[in-house]
Amino acid sequence: MTGPGDPWAHAGLPRESVRDDRGDLVLTHTPTTREGRPWADLAWRMPQVDAARCADVLRSTLRGWVLSTEDEALATELIARGARVLRHAHGYSHDLRADPAPSSWSAPEGPAGLRLTGVERTAEELARLLLAAYPPGHPDCFGWTPAEARQEVAGILAGKVLGPLLPCSGLALDGDKVVGVCLVILRDGTPPHGGPWVIEVYRHPAPRYAGAGAALLRRALWLATQAELPALSLVVSDGNPARRVYERLGFRHVGASRTLELPT
């Protein structure tokens, strides 16, 4: 059920409504789960409903949920009512129909000596590199333990996190060692908020591997263009310098959102 004007009404995603105690529609969202928790994604407030009133309704109807929204006013009111900010993120999308990858990206240049391949390694190896790429203090560090990182990567490889893994995913290898990872999945819905999605891209932090991430993204964009995918999209946390890499590769900013944990 969607409300009139819901920007995600035609994105091919389920929409659920939240109503106040009079039965009036105050908000729509895409219900999903992440790490076992209920998550109201792409939450959209009915324009005639005041942000403070909407926040009051959500405090009782979505108690303990995670909620993501591009609505700054609603986020501010929820934070004033005790919601905790989990993430301030920016959405980016590369439209492959309007801006297909050039053929030079079929064999993208990267740091000397690296070989780019498909994903042919274990979750264990990819998870070890993930922990090195996101040290504590990094804006996209979730503070995972080695076991949690392994579980997350194994889930992505098995297609259990938001959607199946796509063949434009890849690795950068230095000899036998994995030094870069780019994992692309197919999310529900259509771009820029769904569809082909870069769920992870990271490289070994040693300066000699600078450029490995961009090389993997060029490869993914080329393979995605060849596979006639409409776009590659992603989200990146505010303050992560990776944004500049995405912008240089032709990804366009499509919105900012906050992910909040509502009080129980």
Residue numbers at the binding site for ligand COA (CB under 6 A) = 133-134, 140, 201-203, 210-214, 236, 240-242, 244-245
Contact 180, 155 (CB under 8 A): no
**Quick one: which of 61, 65, 72 has its CA closest to 27?**
61
**Quick one: which of 189, 228, 226, 219 has its CA closest to 201?**
219
Looking at the Cβ atoms of 15 and 88, the one nearer to ligand COA is 88
* DSSP bridge partners of 17: 28
Taking the complex as a whole, the smallest distance from the CB of residue 82 to ligand COA amounts, in Å, to 28
Taking the complex as a whole, the smallest distance from the CB of residue 213 to ligand COA amounts, in Å, to 2
Contact 232, 196 (CB under 8 A): yes
36: region left, alpha or beta (phi > 0 left; psi from -120 to 50 alpha): left
Cα 135 to the center of its chain, rounded Å: 19
Nearest residue (beta carbon) to ligand COA: 213
Looking at the Cβ atoms of 55 and 183, the one nearer to ligand COA is 183
Count of CB atoms situated within 10 Å of the CB of 254: 17
Residue 95: CB partners within 8 Å, gap ≥ 6?
191, 230, 231, 252
Looking at the Cβ atoms of 134 and 222, the one nearer to ligand COA is 134
**What's phi and psi for 5, nearest 5 deg?**
95, -5
Cα gap 221→230, rounded to integer Å: 10
Taking the complex as a whole, the smallest distance from the CB of residue 216 to ligand COA amounts, in Å, to 7
Looking at the Cβ atoms of 245 and 254, the one nearer to ligand COA is 245
Looking at the Cβ atoms of 44 and 222, the one nearer to ligand COA is 222
Looking at the Cβ atoms of 183 and 229, the one nearer to ligand COA is 183
Taking the complex as a whole, the smallest distance from the CB of residue 133 to ligand COA amounts, in Å, to 4
